[in-house]
């Protein structure tokens, strides 16, 4: 069954366990309409187990059920309840829960009809002994709809000490260092430590510390900043073969255990030797220099005034974007005010929770708060902030601001009122999108991806394109979101990016599993899967009752030999689409999902083809009902015809 958090739910034969009686009801529980952040699939909640009667409890132990869990760990247990039985008026079901023979509720829990409720607890016992019983005032036996058990695994290595993090970020900003791998935690994980850094682990309460910094041959200019001394555990500093000038900061000269290499910096001198230099300038030359300076300043003021008249709200250059983003840093008190103390939860993902908020000018925003338990957050946070400081496009979700401090990180985005594409293609909104709307969404998103691939220098690979990362604003205009896994090519010549695993099952380029390389072609593959979701209304991957997965691409491939588009297209459209545009759209989608990246089209070509597809639909004047006979006559979509179409699209 579908689960937005990719949890695997198992139905055990509870009837084999004494006092556990399974039952279910054909009721509708809409988890999306509540503030329930656990988001259990409705199929899980409409089934439950109950005891024989109110006098019996539901008792559980891992060992009693034939299972085993590793010892010496902390376990988090989540009990999920939903009243699926319509009790008589005035009756209620009230339960109590004990774990390790201790009550975990401050007061008994009264279940409400069709309302999901979750209770969590922590235990160090690997057998997880719990009991759910009915209280004396309960009119029905105790029930349990589902429960989860998680083992807590503490990080193997603590993150880099914050003092070192602050210092190295100051270095990055001062020298405008744009190395691709200079993002995230500088030292952790060790295999992804920033280039030029050496770190030691286990110093000072186990935090990683920077002990060596090599910035030689990086064309650095200006003076050596004194804040380098903030790297208190630094033992080696290599700044040779640069264009540094001025004196060596006293704070660095006074560090007896620091080895500094400053060779091949002609303008550099020690503090004492710099004081001995005397500069004599003839009066006539000095006057000439002063005149030139005045002219330059005057010209600069005139240019500034001229530019000021033309400047609008768009930040176009990297420097301007960086300054804009830096000026939009928020304080924690502002974050609390914007979100009304995190009252309105609107989403949840691997990064953390997302809250609705409102700025002082009444602009609605979405605030993405990094979870303290997130295993991916720090690197992704840095990546997303740095990318969105310089990446701006109509079809990319805009970053309004950010906050980082006191162990808390948050990103403030423009609010996308119509949620994400995945929600519109599943659940209660399934089939609601009209065919032309789907085409327009595809065109918009393709424009955004084209900007990342071909409009950014260096090019950016998103690495996690999926329907839930295509967001829709109040006008149903689509924008690509979540740059948390993005990577930029080092230069235009690079053909791939070797990196750690990323992406989502069902959307992930099959070539990545063999080579470990993510390319622009990998994004095109993921985008092709999204196009298939738009045309079929089906998810990219669906879990089967036997816990295996069926993939959308395989499902479509099995039907490509037929001549009837109705066997593939979303039945929720009820025939309201043009056969010609539907076939062309399918052709584009399948070309994007070719087995090899070199067979796939560049996203710029996909944009062109999708726009033609949309124009074909618009040219009809209005969407008419599908006519099977006319579609078969107008376009012979045999297997050979498909192959020809794909080679045309991919031939570049």
> Which of the residues are catalytic?
464
Q: Two tokens at 406? A: 């006191």
Number of CB atoms found within 10 A of residue 45's CB = 24
Residue 38, helix vs strand vs coil: coil
Handedness of CA 264, 183, 169, 167 (dihedral sign): negative
Q: Ramachandran region of residue 362, left (φ > 0), alpha (ψ -120 to 50) or beta? A: left
Residue 554, helix vs strand vs coil: helix
Q: What secondary structure letter does DSSP report for 460?
A: E
Closest CA to 37 of 342, 335, 353: 353
CB 192 within 8 A of CB 184: yes
Residue with tokens 């063999």: 514
CA–CA distance, 471 with 235 (Å, rounded to integer): 48
CA–CA distance, 181 with 200 (Å, rounded to integer): 19
Q: Two tokens at 473? A: 């604003």
CB 324 within 8 A of CB 315: yes
CA–CA distance, 428 with 492 (Å, rounded to integer): 44
CA–CA distance, 384 with 402 (Å, rounded to integer): 10
Cα–Cα distances in Å, from 555 out to 115, 408, 569? 36, 43, 12
CA–CA distance, 144 with 51 (Å, rounded to integer): 9
Closest CA to 23 of 116, 144, 149: 144
CB 26 within 8 A of CB 50: no
Q: Ramachandran region of residue 465, left (φ > 0), alpha (ψ -120 to 50) or beta? A: beta
Query: What does DSSP say about strands 487-488 and 478-480: parallel, antiparallel, or unpaired?
Result: unpaired
Cα–Cα distances in Å, from 177 out to 174, 221, 444? 8, 12, 33
- For the CA atoms of 263, 266, 272, 273, what is the dihedral angle to 10 degrees? 120
- Per DSSP, the residues of 252-291 read HHT-TT-EEE--S-TEEE-HHHHHH------HHHHHHHHH
């Amino acid at each position: 069954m579908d689960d937005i958090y990719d949890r695997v739910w198992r139905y055990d034969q509870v009837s084999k366990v004494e006092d556990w009686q399974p039952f279910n009801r054909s009721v509708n529980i809409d988890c999306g309409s509540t503030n329930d952040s656990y988001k259990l699939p409705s199929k899980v909640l409409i089934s439950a187990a109950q005891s024989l009667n109110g006098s019996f409890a539901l008792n559980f132990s891992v060992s009693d059920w034939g299972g085993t869990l590793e010892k010496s760990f902390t376990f988090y247990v989540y009990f999920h309840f939903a009243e699926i039985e319509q009790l008589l008026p005035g009756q209620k079901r009230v339960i109590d829960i004990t774990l390790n023979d201790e009550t975990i509720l401050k007061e008994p829990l009264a279940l409400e009809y069709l309302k999901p409720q979750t209770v969590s607890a922590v235990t160090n016992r690997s057998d997880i002994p719990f009991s759910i019983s009915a209280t004396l005032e309960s009119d029905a036996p105790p029930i349990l709809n589902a429960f989860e058990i998680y083992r807590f695994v503490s990080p193997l290595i603590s993150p880099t000490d914050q003092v070192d993090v602050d210092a190295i970020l100051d270095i990055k900003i001062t020298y405008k260092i744009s190395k691709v791998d200079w993002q995230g935690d500088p030292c952790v994980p060790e295999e992804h430590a920033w280039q030029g850094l050496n770190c030691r682990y286990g110093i000072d309460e186990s935090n990683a510390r920077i002990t060596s910094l090599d910035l030689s041959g990086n064309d650095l200019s200006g003076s050596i900043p004194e804040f380098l001394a903030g790297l208190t555990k630094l033992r080696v500093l290599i700044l040779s073969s640069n264009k540094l000038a001025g004196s060596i900061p006293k704070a660095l000269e006074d560090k007896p255990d620091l080895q500094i290499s400053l060779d091949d910096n002609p303008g550099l001198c020690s503090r004492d030797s710099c004081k001995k230099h005397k500069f004599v300038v003839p009066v006539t030359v000095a006057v000439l220099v002063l005149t030139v300076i005045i002219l330059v300043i005057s010209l600069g003021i005139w240019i500034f005034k001229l530019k000021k008249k033309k400047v609008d709200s768009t930040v176009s250059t990297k420097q301007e974007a960086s300054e804009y983003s830096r000026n939009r840093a928020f304080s924690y008190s502002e974050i609390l005010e914007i979100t009304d103390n995190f009252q309105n939860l609107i989403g949840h993902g691997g990064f953390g929770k997302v809250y609705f908020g409102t700025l002082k000018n009444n602009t609605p925003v979405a605030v993405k708060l990094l979870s303290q338990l997130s295993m991916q957050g720090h690197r992704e946070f840095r990546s997303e902030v740095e990318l969105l400081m310089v990446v701006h496009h109509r079809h990319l979700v805009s970053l309004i601001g950010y906050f980082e401090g006191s162990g808390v990180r948050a990103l403030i985005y423009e609010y996308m009122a119509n949620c994400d594409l995945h929600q519109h293609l599943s659940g209660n909104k399934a089939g609601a999108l009209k065919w032309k709307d789907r085409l327009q969404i595809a065109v918009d998103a393709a424009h955004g991806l084209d900007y990342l691939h071909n409009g950014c220098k260096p090019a950016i690979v998103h690495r996690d394109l999926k329907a839930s990362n295509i967001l829709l604003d109040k006008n149903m205009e689509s924008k690509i979101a979540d740059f948390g896994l993005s990577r930029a090519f080092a230069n235009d010549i690079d053909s791939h990016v070797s990196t750690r695993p990323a992406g989502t099952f069902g959307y992930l380029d099959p070539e990545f599993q063999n080579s470990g390389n993510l390319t622009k072609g990998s994004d095109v593959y993921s985008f092709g899967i999204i196009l298939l979701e738009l045309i079929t209304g089906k998810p990219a991957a669906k879990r089967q009752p036997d816990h295996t997965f069926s993939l959308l691409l395989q499902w479509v491939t099995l039907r490509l030999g037929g001549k009837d588009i109705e066997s593939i297209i979303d039945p929720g459209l009820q025939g309201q689409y043009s056969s010609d545009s539907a076939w062309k759209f399918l052709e584009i989608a399948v070309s994007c999902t070719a087995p090899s990246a070199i067979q796939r089209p560049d996203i710029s070509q996909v944009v062109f083809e999708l726009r033609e597809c949309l124009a074909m639909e618009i040219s009809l004047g209005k969407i008419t009902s599908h006519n099977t006979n006319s579609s078969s006559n107008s376009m012979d979509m045999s297997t050979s015809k498909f192959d020809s179409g794909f080679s045309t699209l991919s031939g570049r």
